[in-house]
Chain A
Amino acid sequence: MDFQKQIRLTWAVNSAAGTGIPLLFAARMMVIFLVLVRGMKHILPPFLPFIPGMEILRELPWLYHLLDWVYWISLVAVFAGFRYQQFSIILGALIMLVILGAKPQFSNSFLFAGCILFLIGMYRLGLEYIFRVQISLLYLGAGINKLFDPDWLSGRYFDFFFSEVYVNPVSSAIHNAFEGEIFVLVLSWCTILVELTFGIWALIGKRTVILFVFIQFFHLAMLIVTLGELSFLFYFLMSVSSYLILPWGRLKGLRIRFLADSKFWGFLKFFDSENFFNWVDTTKKRGLTPFQKIHDLFLFFFLKPLFFAFFVLGITVLCLKKESVSLSINFVW
């Protein structure tokens, strides 16, 4: 096996599977999530496991040293693009092992990262739907749970949310502008409906570009209302995972209008060495209208994994910084 071919050190869209789905990009983002965002440095031994009897593994410290090595080798391998699908399965399985071995380690975002890594590893041509199914399960699960929760149905959750938990100028303005029970009730039901709709929509798999944009809006709206405190981990995860459900095969060759004599456009074009876009020079025509410019820039930044990564990471890091400040403020009963 040619070692050179095994390593893909570029941020280019992975075309090994023939569909253009940016699998390697997503796998690398999951590595960033685990190490930088979640700060997961070690594979921890079992403590209060889900599976009875797993505590016995605590008596085998060498096993966890070994798993630590496997974890770090897998992280490096995935990031380097070396047999990244195989190593993604290993990472996904390790995350599930850690969670099954320790209830305190359980978190939905951590588990979801493990699921996505596992699915990246399992992916083969023709299995594009597996990412949609995973996203669908998440939103349907979240929507169904809220649908059966009396505090969600009555609006109490959001009433508490706005009045005591996430009190900031934005949430206060919203809460004050729409005084009364109706507002929290409408917001509760809208959230439930949005989650159930996303779940069904992902399963159906039509117009996934619009679904991707809506998912972005949904999670960004949560971050804006809470000034970056609520669910930024899920913003990161859902941005990356919903990126995988875009119809990459059809998006390839999208027209980007540019000005050949512009340094700015030349700079952007430099990042499309694999000619994902169809670059159309409009210098000799009428140039670009502001709308065309915004439209094409939007397309470029969202469909180039490198730029999308900067966007998502930038927002997540901002929220992380904010959280570290908020954690130092104790809640008063």
Chain B
Amino acid sequence: MKGTNLGELEELILLTVGILYKEAYGVAVMDEIEKQTGRSLNISAVHAVLQRLEEKGLATSKMSEPTGERGGRRKRIFFLTASGKKALAEANELRNQLFNQIPKVALGSLKFEV
């Protein structure tokens, strides 16, 4: 899908959804991001982004089985769609391409193997 530019947070959450395959719901995404990046997001922000991703077609959601701990309420589990996966891959590739073009001199002492 041309023109779907992923925002920074959107990409982050989309990646997390990928990581948490089959377990990706609001609280879990929030926890995972905190664990991996140290950023503590508010649950409503996470929900907002997840909805946006779904609207853009990069993710899709399904209701899970009812769980006892949430008073019998079901969770909404998110999955990557084909276009979501593609968007992530493209974004990643683009970033690497650009990074590799930075002259060694500018990077200074940073030595990176890509």
Binding between chains A and B: no
Q: Footprint of A on B, CB under 8 Å?
A: none
Q: Footprint of B on A, CB under 8 Å?
A: none
